[in-house]
Amino acid sequence: MALPAKPSDRHRSVANTFADRVAGVADWSAPAPVPDWTARDVVGHLVTWFPEFLAAGGMQLPQGPSVADDPAGAWRHQTERVQALLDGPSAAEDFTHPHLGTMPLRDAIDRFYTSDVFMHTWDLARATGQDDRLDEDTCAMMVTGMKPMEDMLRSSGQYGPAVAVPDDAPATDQLMGFIGRDPDWRP
């Protein structure tokens, strides 16, 4: 079953799944599949880069608790603020990012942030021994959409070298391999 089509509903679903994984973390210093990251770093990444992304387009997301002190509180704060943007009137307004151009705010959040939260759910779950299953339809759509941009994505430094997976591997494994994760990684 694919995620909801509406960006606000999709964010709600993806953020809630990530929040469930956050709530299940027993050891925030557990190593994560991203080299040199811990479980805390996965949350820290999401809570750090996205407010900077919005600020580059002239929008401020109020700062919440520190990930160092309260990763669950930091996640909850950010999720509530982002959901408020998606549920509010500014979601349909144009957002101009200096490197990405102009698009409705809801599309910018959906394309860049919600998809990142979706992928990092696997990282946090795998780091902490939780359910790491992702929606297979969404994984397949993401891989299909990202492949034509592979050179650009890799040159951005946001993705590691692809990890080879069998052609008949589940879509989650294909997505993880594409973004540079070893689908067989364990802490």
Q: For the residues 19-32, what does the mean pLDDT come to? A: 98
Are 77 and 156 within one domain? no
In sign, the C-alpha dihedral spanning 103, 93, 18, 47 is: positive
pLDDT of residue 153: 84
What is the H or E stretch that residue 119 is in?
helix 115-128
pLDDT of residue 42: 98
Structural domain including 149 reads 145-180
Residue 186 lies in a domain: no
Give phi and psi for 55, each to the nearest 5: -60, -35
Co-location of 125 and 172 in the same domain: no
- Calculate the average pLDDT of the chain: 94
| Angle (nearest 5°) at CA 44 between 13 and 147 | 60
- Could you read off the pLDDT of 48-64 as tens digits, one per residue? 999 999 999 999 999 99
Number of structural domains (the chain) is 2
Read off the CATH number of the domain in which 85 is found.
1.20.120.450
The pLDDT confidence band at residue 173, using thresholds 50, 70 and 90, is very high
